[in-house]
Amino acid sequence: MKRTLFISIFIVFFTTSFMSLIGCNNQNQTTKKILKEQYELQDKCGKRSEEWFKKEYESTEGNTNYKNHYDKKENKCFILLTSFYTNKKGGSIQLSLYDINEDNEYGVLIIHGYNVNNKPYSCSVLNKSCGSYDEWLLLVNPYMED
């Protein structure tokens, strides 16, 4: 009787341990698969951003550069454009946030003069108005950071 009980406990312990090892291995493989997919989506976003930027802004006047970010929560590829324009009155800075896959503008900030502390001419992100460069950054950061 004791021997049967001991063997039963041993079998249950061995089976549970074995199943736990298999489960951990499957979990590690699942985690690796998710990380690989996220890396591929980030890479795709970078390539798509470069293509979009060249198509839309390469031939424009002024000095424009960009930063892209894949937002895994929203599953979207965002691009943040920074443009400097010079004119007779001195120039302006324009920052724009786009979802490039849907070609939607999420926000824009325009400041006359090259000082971000100047009062914005235009400042909004998804129909939310803002009154300064710092406020605009607070509205944009959730789309550009994880």
HEC states along the chain? CHHHHHHHHHHHHHHHHHHHHHHHHHHHHHHHHHHHHHHHHHHHHHHHHHHHHHHHHCCCCCEEEEEEEEECCCCEEEEEEEEEECCCCCCEEEEEEEECCCCEEEEEEEEECCCCCCCCCEEEECCEECCCHHHHHHHHHHHHCC
Residue 69 lies in a domain: yes
Domain that holds residue 100: 36-144
The residue count of the chain comes to: 146
Residue 10 lies in a domain: no
Mean of per-residue pLDDT scores for the chain: 81
Reported as a single tens digit per residue, the pLDDT across 23-82 is: 545 668 888 877 788 788 888 999 999 998 988 877 666 688 999 999 988 889 999 999
Checking if the pLDDT of 21 tops 50, the result is: no
Query: Is 120 within 8 Å of 135 (Cβ atoms)?
Result: no
Checking if the pLDDT of 86 tops 50, the result is: yes
Residue 12 lies in a domain: no
Q: Which percentage of the chain shows pLDDT scores above 90? A: 42
Residue 89 lies in a domain: yes
Residue 62 lies in a domain: yes
Residue 114 lies in a domain: yes
Checking if the pLDDT of 13 tops 60, the result is: no
Residue 18 lies in a domain: no
Checking if the pLDDT of 5 tops 50, the result is: no
pTM above 0.75, yes or no: no
CA distances from 115 to 40, 61, 123, 125, 137 (A): 38, 20, 15, 20, 15
**Number of domains into which the chain is organized:** 1
List the one residue out of 78, 134, 85, 132 whose CA is nearest residue 106.
Answer: 78
Residue 2 lies in a domain: no
List the one residue out of 50, 85, 42 whose CA is nearest residue 67.
Answer: 50
